[in-house]
Structure 1
């Protein structure tokens, strides 16, 4: 087991390195290094997202949410660790249009920032404490889930469990545990990382010994753009209530620069 600040383990909306960690028994460092190099530096990735949230398995009329995501990875110096910035802005439904969420990874975890702007409140709020485990814009993703899937899990214990198989494809199985209990609703996450593309294709979230939520990406929904791979559809399911959210990436673009102020905590919610 090793202690490491994990960058880009989430797999959701994160690119995959074209040189995979495919050794018969890879180490934790092999897998995490492959994932951490998965996001191109200094390029802004723009994605159009569609969330469909079903209240139960029999629900035929899901709640819909459309959003736009800007994401960028930077370094303060060539030898520094990568730092992720991401902004999601809701476009529909009308009553949530303009709601925005910002992630900023800093040099020290205690300085990392999560910020949310809700039009009904009319001000920016920093996300922390119990509020971080509440639903993100009515979906089955929480604010902490969004943070994790964007690669900001923070300082965690990482254990390589085994090399296995999922949907006919080889995977590396890792176990992530939080050394600081009760920091979030889930104190353990078991993940399956596609051994070829270095993307997380399954994540089981536990509270104690009980699995509460599960994120899955089917192999058929992995798509290649240039040298990189994207998960184009993900499902997050609440195993207690049976509710689930299907997330689809409907469009992907790469930009050299981001709109001015889009990653600024004081202005992100005003940028179109």
Structure 2
């Protein structure tokens, strides 16, 4: 089965409008990610079956595979929400790619761990556009246990301050999610370096089966790249465990908690 991409180009010379020009491009698979670089004719699409990325520089009239990324290596395509020049291709293993010129050229970069594909892989700072958090997965052999031979895995968060031009550094291990306080322009009053992480007790690795219990998760913050960290008081004392999600809604940052018998959400003051 083919997917069709229709590019409609409208021209309005003087006061007379020509008929729209339609170009049809056939793809073997339906793209699961398609985005324009805003106010430009450049489009990127991701094919989730062939694991490849294609680029058009003329609003979809013609297409070509991006340079430097082999078919079968592109797991995800991620746009930078605050920079109209950057995008990222997440690779199968430790190699990934970034463009600084709207996909015209791509540069590879390495990460110490493979990307975690549960939830967002990258989190961005609204003002410092080179500040990016990378969610990864770490595993170790567990040998033989009650579930047989296997691995124990957990997430770790790394960070870059130069959009992956240099090395990435470990932010915090045993995490499930980290975001910048200034992840949107609405949070200009928050400290620039402030980061929130949903994390687990680092002295306890996941149990058999490679899973943390949600009861162990808590919300932490740091303004020094987690050289020091602070437990975030949600106003419910020791019950502030079981954090299962963190996000931004309007001018609020919202933490979602799950109890043994119910689910709840708690929102703090506006940032």
User: Rg: which structure is higher?
Assistant: 2
* RCO higher in structure (CA 8 A, sep ≥6): 1
Alignment TM-score > 0.5, same fold: no
TM-score, scaled to structure 2:
0.28
